[in-house]
Amino acid sequence: MSEINHLNSKSGKSTALFLALGLFLAALAIAYYVHNSQDEVLKQILKGQAERTETKLVKNTQHLLSDLDSLSKRWDSNGSDGNGQRLLDAQDFLKRTEGVQQVLRIDNEFQMVWSEPNLPSMTNQIDNILNDNDIVLKLIKARDNDRPEISKTFDVSNQKTVFIFRSFNRDTSFLGFIAIKVDVEMFLNNILGDPANVDFYTKAYANDEVVFANGPDLTSYSNLEFFELNLDEDADGWLFKVYPTDSSLNLIISPLPYFIAFAGSVIAFLFFLTLRSKQKATKESYKLASEISEREKVQFELEYLANHDTLTHLPNRHYITNYIETRVKQSKSTKQKFTILFIDLDHFKDINDTLGHAVGDEMLKKLPILFNRVFRHDDIIARMGGDEFIVYLPGEMSIGHVEKLVERFLKSLEYPIEIGEHLIRLTGSVGVAFYPDHGSDVNELLSHADAALYRAKDKGRNTFAVYDSEIEQKAKDRVNLIARLHSAYENDEFEMYYQPRYQLSSSQIIGAEALMRWNTPEGKVELPNKFINLLEETSLIIPVTLKMLRRCCVQYSKLVEKQPDLFMSFNISAKQLEHPDFLLSLQNILDETGFSANRLEIELTEQTLIQNVENSRFILDKLKEMGIAIAIDDFGTGYSSLSYLKNFQVDILKIDKSFIQDIDSDKDDLELVKTMIAMGKNLNIITVAEGVENETQLNLLNDESCEQVQGYYFKKAMRFYDFYQLV
């Protein structure tokens, strides 16, 4: 996946680069073309200018020369005496032609004989020039060929100067020369005009020497045109170079190609960037999209986990409470009604405890199938935790209707469920609450359905109860009672009574069981069945028990002083046994009160022991180490009875009073009691019969050699002072 992405992005990148490069090259080609055409145009223009310049130069020079010709002819005819006339002619000539600075007459001896204007400073210079061999040769040529000759260039007073010679001779004899001195610069400037106006510069060379230039240095110019010009037939020609002025060049050569190249590059670059960023954006958005879908997946999983029970995959407490809350809100406008069932499996804990949690879990996993057989698809079934479930039933339902539905559900539960080698039959209890009759919000509805569930359990399980005013009252009472128990603890309203236990053979008191009473502020003495369960549920049982045990140890020490064999039996609930500080607290109490551990017996029910077998075994071992005796309370009522006894170090079995009560009338119970006593003997465990109320029972027990007895037949539980007296 990521590999492909990587390749895609790579090829995408090179496509962008390729396209951009193409665009860039195209721009360069166009720029090159425009540049070339501009150059072509410039060449044409320069060629034209060169031709025009050449024509002008030729025309003007010829004009000058023919002017000089006609002057020489006139001087011929004037003869040698016409000096006055010659002066006028010369002055006229000088005026006519710009650049011509002097008119001279040279005699046939090649000596200057006359000059106009006649400036003495110049005379020497000209004399020097006339002595120059080249000039003499020129003069001879001019005489022989009878036509004008142009001298080489001289620097005269820092001015490039040429002389033009023309012989004037009468048909018969040679008389001399007319020479004109020409300032090259002035002459050419006059012909060529101001470069600023004509848009071209001109530079002239004679024998590689620059003789004229009206523009800047040529080296910076690549655009130039040149032509050669021979002013007389045999002279080495002058070379003229013509090149454009900056302003004219700018007119012809626009920066267009550069602009095109630049713009092209910019466009190509921008194109590349755009393409790249688009590809990047696509990539990013793909990445983002996959990230989002990944996130959505995680979100979905989180949401699923938050709203579902991982074991049964049913909606969980969180989900159902939210759901009901939403329904309640909606019903404010829709007036929708619905029903809540609060379901609790009876004795599910026992399955967990005896068959193991794995079996319990398997059991729970199968429950949705059971539920779905009874409830419709738009009913919502949620697991509240443990073995508690909520069913939301939409729409209005009559009590009769709910009754039928719940009965069907309870029936379906009874169907045996196969888990491994076990066949398990479940029963359940159901509490029913209607919306809006039994609550205006989710908490109220659920707690009322829960209260109804309590009621159903009270009725004997495997049944249901609809929330009503009686339940409401009970629920309120419960809350009320909890509050009163808290203050009872704080105000020391609990008291321990003692019920004596006897050795059957000797009818001697051998000890007593401590039983809790509650002296209410109203002056009533309440029995444990009124409050022990609530103390356990609220965990108040822990501090209350420790307080009571400490007190008992102090009181009982006085008795033990009198009768050192007397023991005290104390009931400990499962909550207390599970508490991590239990052993430590117990040891502290013994240490602080000085009560001997081997005078103490602890009563634990079968239920308590099997709730956490490992923990129970550990604690029992410790208690044994401390020297405390262990009694199994309510023996025979437990789920699994005898078999586990071998697992624990037990000293005493207290046969539950429900068996004792019926041994005089129920043969089965008698048989059971016989078996329990026999087994106790086998295992070397003392058996105690609880709840002995009459002589018949006592005699039967005596027959079976039960060792100890406790019951109303002897004594009820009494206050410490009374017990003290009794002993």
Interaction site with Ca ion (CB under 5 A): 571, 603, 633-634, 690
Tokens of 227: 């032509």
Nearest in space to 71 (alpha carbons), one of 98, 49, 96, 39: 96
The count of residues interacting with ligand C2E (CB under 6 A) is: 24
User: Taking CB within 5 to 8 Å according to partner kind, which of Ca ion, ligand C2E, none is near residue 344?
Assistant: none
User: Taking CB within 5 to 8 Å according to partner kind, which of Ca ion, ligand C2E, none is near residue 573?
Assistant: ligand C2E
CB of 336 to ligand C2E, least distance (A): 46
The Cα 199–Cα 215 span in angstroms is 11
Compute CA distances 188 → 48, 56, 219, whole Å.
19, 10, 22
Beta bridge partners of 150: 164
The Cα 308–Cα 301 span in angstroms is 10
In sequence order, what are the residues at sequence separation of 6 or more whose Cβ sits closer than 8 angstroms to the Cβ of residue 257? 30, 31, 32, 34, 35, 38
Q: Is residue 573 a contact point for ligand C2E (CB under 6 A)?
A: yes
Strands 600-605 and 629-635: parallel
CB nearer ligand C2E, residue 69 or residue 669? 669
CB of 343 to ligand C2E, least distance (A): 28
> What is the phi/psi pair of residue 495, to 5°?
-145, 145
User: Taking CB within 5 to 8 Å according to partner kind, which of ligand C2E, Ca ion, none is near residue 374?
Assistant: none
Q: Which of 387, 450, 633, 707 binds ligand C2E (CB under 6 A)?
A: 633
In angstroms, how far apart are the furthest CA atoms of the chain?
201
Binding residues for ligand C2E restricted to 637-676, rule: CB under 6 A: 657
Q: Is residue 316 a contact point for ligand C2E (CB under 6 A)?
A: no
User: Helices 582-593 and 613-626 meet at what angle, rounded to 10?
Assistant: 20
User: Taking CB within 5 to 8 Å according to partner kind, which of Ca ion, ligand C2E, none is near residue 183?
Assistant: none
User: Helices 528-537 and 541-562 meet at what angle, rounded to 10?
Assistant: 130
CB of 547 to ligand C2E, least distance (A): 11
Q: What is the 8-class DSSP label of residue 491?
A: T
Cis peptide leading into residue 416 (ω within 30°): no
CB nearer ligand C2E, residue 195 or residue 711? 711
CB of 690 to Ca ion, least distance (A): 5
CB nearer Ca ion, residue 340 or residue 631? 631
User: Taking CB within 5 to 8 Å according to partner kind, which of ligand C2E, Ca ion, none is near residue 693?
Assistant: ligand C2E
| 311 three-class SS | coil
CB of 495 to Ca ion, least distance (A): 17
Q: Which stretch binds ligand C2E (CB under 6 A): 143-151, 169-177, 367-375, 511-519?
A: 511-519
CB nearer ligand C2E, residue 89 or residue 601? 601
CB of 603 to Ca ion, least distance (A): 4
CB nearer Ca ion, residue 499 or residue 555? 499
The Cα 546–Cα 543 span in angstroms is 5
725 burial type by CB count under 10 A (0-12 exposed, 13-18 middle, 19+ buried): exposed
Alpha helices of 316-398 — where are they, by DSSP H? 317-334, 348-355, 357-374
Binding residues for ligand C2E restricted to 674-693, rule: CB under 6 A: 690-693
Q: In what order do the strands lie in the sheet with 225-229?
A: 209-213, 200-206, 238-244, 225-229
CB of 691 to ligand C2E, least distance (A): 4
Q: Which of 395, 416, 521, 528 binds ligand C2E (CB under 6 A)?
A: 528
The Cα 677–Cα 686 span in angstroms is 8
User: Taking CB within 5 to 8 Å according to partner kind, which of ligand C2E, Ca ion, none is near residue 532?
Assistant: ligand C2E
Angle at 77 between CA 75 and CA 83, to 5 degrees: 45
CB of 676 to ligand C2E, least distance (A): 15
CB of 575 to Ca ion, least distance (A): 16
CB of 401 to Ca ion, least distance (A): 44
Q: Which stretch binds ligand C2E (CB under 6 A): 169-177, 334-342, 669-677, 705-713?
A: 705-713
Encode burial over 71-93: b for 16+ CB neighbours within 10 A, e otherwise.
bbeebeeeeeeeeeebeebbeeb
Q: Which of 382, 449, 465, 717 binds ligand C2E (CB under 6 A)?
A: 717
User: Taking CB within 5 to 8 Å according to partner kind, which of ligand C2E, Ca ion, none is near residue 583?
Assistant: none
User: Taking CB within 5 to 8 Å according to partner kind, which of Ca ion, ligand C2E, none is near residue 650?
Assistant: none
Q: Is residue 492 a contact point for ligand C2E (CB under 6 A)?
A: no
Q: Which of 634, 635, 688, 701 binds ligand C2E (CB under 6 A)?
A: 634
Cis peptide leading into residue 521 (ω within 30°): no
Q: Which of 129, 516, 620, 670 binds ligand C2E (CB under 6 A)?
A: 516
Strands 428-435 and 464-466: parallel
39 touches 254 (CB < 8 A): no
CB of 379 to Ca ion, least distance (A): 43
Beta bridge partners of 465: 431
Q: Which of 515, 629, 632, 670 binds ligand C2E (CB under 6 A)?
A: 515
CB nearer ligand C2E, residue 431 or residue 500? 500
494 touches 484 (CB < 8 A): no
CB of 507 to Ca ion, least distance (A): 21
Nearest in space to 238 (alpha carbons), one of 473, 53, 493: 53
CB of 514 to Ca ion, least distance (A): 9
CB nearer ligand C2E, residue 271 or residue 713? 713
Q: Is residue 712 a contact point for ligand C2E (CB under 6 A)?
A: yes
CB nearer Ca ion, residue 149 or residue 656? 656
Tell me which H or E stretch contains 382.
strand 380-385
CB nearer ligand C2E, residue 182 or residue 700? 700
User: Taking CB within 5 to 8 Å according to partner kind, which of ligand C2E, Ca ion, none is near residue 515?
Assistant: ligand C2E
DSSP states along 408-460: HHHHHHHS-EEETTEEE---EEEEEEEETTT-SSHHHHHHHHHHHHHHHHHTT
User: What type of residue is 343?
Assistant: I
- In the block, tokens 């207290």 appear at 654
Binding residues for ligand C2E restricted to 578-617, rule: CB under 6 A: 603
Q: Is residue 499 a contact point for ligand C2E (CB under 6 A)?
A: yes
CB of 685 to Ca ion, least distance (A): 16
Give me the residues that bind ligand C2E (CB under 6 A), please: 499, 514-516, 527-529, 532, 545, 571-573, 603, 633-634, 657, 690-693, 710-712, 717
